[in-house]
Structure 1
C-alpha cells in the first residue's frame, strides 16, 4: 500500500465515530445532543463563589498582616482549580455535556482524552493543596497552642495521608502508560498501559469520600465543648454544612464513576464527573473563606459608617413611648458583640475558654486557661 493510500485510509478513519453506535442509532456530529448551558452555569457560578472566598481569605490576612503556610497552599490550590475549570469549560463549549461518544468524530477524540488527562492532574493536586490548607487552618483554630490532644493528631494524620494519597495518585496518572502519548492518542500503536485506570479512579473516589467525611466530622466535638451559648454553638456548627455539600458532591461523583466503569461511553460520563469535582472544590474554598468574611468586611473603608447607618435605621423603626427615659450609661470598656460566624484567628476575634481534651488536666492556681477563637 502506498503512502497516499495510507493517508487516505487514515483520513477516512478519523471521520468515523469514536464509538460504534447502538443498533438503529445514526451518529450525528452536527447535532450531538449535548447541553452547553449546564456547563456554563456550573463553571461560572462556582468560579465566582471560589474567587470571592479566596478574596475574603486574602482580605483577612492583609488586615492581620500575616500570611501562613495554609494561605500559600490555598493560592496554589486556586491556580490548579483555574486550570481544572478551564478544561471543563472547553468541554462545555465543545462537544458539550452528556454527549454520546458515537456523536464525536475520532479526529476529535485525542483532544478530549488529553483534556481528561490534564483535568485528572489538576483535580488531584488542587484537592491535595485545598484539603491541606483547610486542615492546617483548623489546627490554628481548634487546637490550643502547645497542646497535643486527640484532635491535633487526627488533623495531622489527615493532612499527611491526603498529601501522600493525592501525590501518589498524580504520579500514577502521569506515568500510567509508556510512552505517555498512549494516554491520549487512541491511534497510537505499541507501548503499554499496565495501570487499570478505571479501577484506580474508583479506589481514589472511595478514599476521597472517606477523607471528606473525616474532614467534615473532625472538629465537631470541639465546637460543642466551647464555653459559649448553645445558639452560638449551633451557628458555628452550621458553617460546616458546606462540608456536607462537598461530601454530597463526592458521593455523586462516585456514583457516576460506577456508571462509567460499566460503560465504554466515556464522553457521556466524564464531563459530569468534572462538574461534580468543581462543586466539591468550590465547597472547600467556601469552608476556608467564609470564616474570614467578617474580618474582611470590617477592614474595608466605610464599613463602620454603613454599620452605623443600618443601626440608626433600626432604632428609627423601633416603637417609642411618650415617657422620657434616660438611656443607660455606656461603659467605654464594653466590647462590640461578635458576629455568629466569626471563627477566625485567635488574635482577630474575641476569645472564649475551652476545656482541655484530656479529662485529667486541671488548671493550676495562678495559671491561665487555654483559649481558642470561635
Structure 2
C-alpha cells in the first residue's frame, strides 16, 4: 500500500472524509446540503465588482479624455486592479465548493482544506491590492496638496506610504509562514507547529483601522487652511470624506477578527472576515476614484448633453414687457440697429438646439436711407432658442 507523507493513502482518505468539526449537542451534521448564505455573498461580490469597475472607468476616462496624462498614482492604482480581480474571482468560486457562511461541522476535512487554501490566496491578493491602492491615494495627495515645497504634510504622507507597504508585506510573510511545514496551514492533521494566526489577525486588523483613520483625517487639516470660501471647503472636504466608509469596513474586519479568535467555527467566521475585506478594498477604490467624478461632471460629456437637451425643452419664464411687443406686432419686421432699441429686446435663452441662420439677412434701415448702419431682419420670431452658449470656468489652487 502506498503512502502520502506520514500517512498511508488509506489513512489519509479516512482522515479527509471525517467531519471538519464535531457538531454541537443536539445538532446533526448535514454534508449534502448544508445551510449557507451563498446568495448574500454572491450579491455582495457582484455589487463590489460593479462599483470598482465603474470607479476605475471614471478614473481612466478623466485621465485619458480630459487631462490627457497619467501620473505615478494612476499607474500604481492600475497595477492594484488585477490583484483585486483575482482575489474576488477566487472568492466567487467558494460557493461552488465548500460554500460561504457554512458551519464547519457541516463539511468534511477535505472541504475545509479547500476553503482554508482559498482563504490564504484571497488574503494575500487582497493585501497586495490594498497596499498598492492606499499607496496610490497617498501619492496623489502629495501631488494635490504639496505643489512646491516639501511641507510637513509631504513627509507625513511619505512616512505613511512606507509604513503601509511594510505593514502589508509583513502580513503577507506572516500568513505564508504561519505553520511549519507550510502545508499544515490548511492540512492541520500534518505534524508540525503553527503560530496563533487568529491573534495576529486581530492585531493587524486593529492596526489597519488606526491607519485608515489617520488617512481619513490627514487631508482635512490642509483643506481647511486653503484660501477658499467656506462653501468650497465643505465641498472639497465632503469628497475626501468617502474614507469614512473604508473606516467602517475596517472596523467590521476588527469585529470579525475578534469572532475568529473566540470561535472554533472557522469556516463561518472566516467567511465574514473575507466579505469585510472585500468591502474594505472596494471602498478604498472609491476613495481613490471619487475625486475624479467632479472633473468628469464639469466637462462636456454624454450626461451633460442629455441634461442640456432636457433644459432646452423646458418652458422659459418671460416677462410681460418682453412678450407684449412681439404679440402686439406679430407681423412686424423688427429693426435692430447699431443703437440699442428698448422696444425690441429678444429673450435670449440657453439651450442646446441648432438654428437655421440663413433666414436672417442684412439690410438697410428703412427710416434713414442715408445711414450706413446695418439691421437684422428675422423672418418671423417664433419664441424658440436662438443660440446656445456654454461656459466652463475652472479654478486651480
Q: So what's the TM-score if we normalise by structure 2?
A: 0.77
- Equivalence for 1:102: 105
- Equivalence for 1:203: 203
Alignment partners' CA distance in 2, 1:3 and 1:20 = 29
Question: Which of 46, 49, 61 is residue 47 of structure 1 equivalent to?
Answer: 49
- Equivalence for 1:168: 170
Question: Alpha-carbon deviation of 1:241?
Answer: 3.3
**Larger CA deviation: 316-325 vs 47-56:** 316-325
Which aligned pairs between 1:4-43 and structure 2 lie closer than 5 A?
A: 7-43=9-45
Provide closer, same or farther for how the CA distance between residues 320 and 95 of structure 1 changes in structure 2, counting only shifts above 3 A: farther
2:246/2:280 contact within 8 Å kept: yes
Alignment partners' CA distance in 1, 2:300 and 2:181 = 53
- Equivalence for 1:336: 392
Alignment partners' CA distance in 2, 1:142 and 1:248 = 26
Provide closer, same or farther for how the CA distance between residues 3 and 252 of structure 1 changes in structure 2, counting only shifts above 3 A: same
- Equivalence for 2:218: 218
- Equivalence for 2:285: 285
Residue 127 of structure 1 aligns to a residue in which SS?
A: helix
- Equivalence for 1:236: 236
- Equivalence for 2:395: 350
Q: Deviation string for 1:232-252 (max 9, x for gaps)?
A: 322222223321111001101
- Equivalence for 1:322: 320
Q: So what's the TM-score if we normalise by structure 1?
A: 0.81
- Equivalence for 2:342: none
* 2:139 corresponds to 1:136: yes
The RMSD of aligned alpha carbons is: 2.6
Alignment partners' CA distance in 2, 1:7 and 1:109 = 19
Provide closer, same or farther for how the CA distance between residues 258 and 77 of structure 1 changes in structure 2, counting only shifts above 3 A: same
**Higher relative contact order, structure no. (Cα contacts within 8 Å, ≥ 6 residues apart):** 1
Which aligned pairs between 1:81-92 and structure 2 lie closer than 5 A?
A: 81-92=84-95
Alignment partners' CA distance in 2, 1:128 and 1:218 = 18
Which aligned pairs between 1:139-154 and structure 2 lie closer than 5 A?
A: 139-143=142-146, 145-154=147-156
1:18/1:109 contact within 8 Å kept: yes
1:84/1:123 contact within 8 Å kept: yes
1:34/1:95 contact within 8 Å kept: no
1:17/1:103 contact within 8 Å kept: yes
Provide closer, same or farther for how the CA distance between residues 177 and 14 of structure 1 changes in structure 2, counting only shifts above 3 A: closer
Aligned residues: 333
1:39/1:96 contact within 8 Å kept: no
2:62/2:292 contact within 8 Å kept: yes
* 2:181 corresponds to 1:179: yes
Question: Alpha-carbon deviation of 1:87?
Answer: 2.4
2:112/2:267 contact within 8 Å kept: no
Residue 242 of structure 2 aligns to a residue in which SS?
A: helix
Question: Alpha-carbon deviation of 1:329?
Answer: 12
Provide closer, same or farther for how the CA distance between residues 250 and 222 of structure 1 changes in structure 2, counting only shifts above 3 A: same
2:101/2:268 contact within 8 Å kept: yes
1:109/1:186 contact within 8 Å kept: no
Alignment partners' CA distance in 2, 1:240 and 1:185 = 44
**Larger CA deviation: 265-274 vs 173-182:** 173-182
Which aligned pairs between 1:118-137 and structure 2 lie closer than 5 A?
A: 118-137=121-140
Alignment partners' CA distance in 2, 1:301 and 1:231 = 26
**Larger CA deviation: 293-302 vs 163-172:** 293-302
* 2:71 corresponds to 1:68: yes
Provide closer, same or farther for how the CA distance between residues 334 and 117 of structure 1 changes in structure 2, counting only shifts above 3 A: closer
Question: Alpha-carbon deviation of 1:92?
Answer: 3.2
Query: Unaligned 5+ residue runs, structure 2?
Result: 323-344, 351-388
Query: Unaligned 5+ residue runs, structure 1?
Result: 338-348, 352-371
Question: Alpha-carbon deviation of 1:45?
Answer: 0.5
1:91/1:271 contact within 8 Å kept: no
Question: Alpha-carbon deviation of 1:11?
Answer: 2.8
Residue 218 of structure 1 aligns to a residue in which SS?
A: helix
- Equivalence for 1:344: none
- Structure showing greater radius of gyration is 2
Question: Alpha-carbon deviation of 1:295?
Answer: 3.6
Q: Deviation string for 1:279-324 (max 9, x for gaps)?
A: 11111111121221344466676566435324424xx344332222
Question: Alpha-carbon deviation of 1:129?
Answer: 0.4
Provide closer, same or farther for how the CA distance between residues 291 and 17 of structure 1 changes in structure 2, counting only shifts above 3 A: same
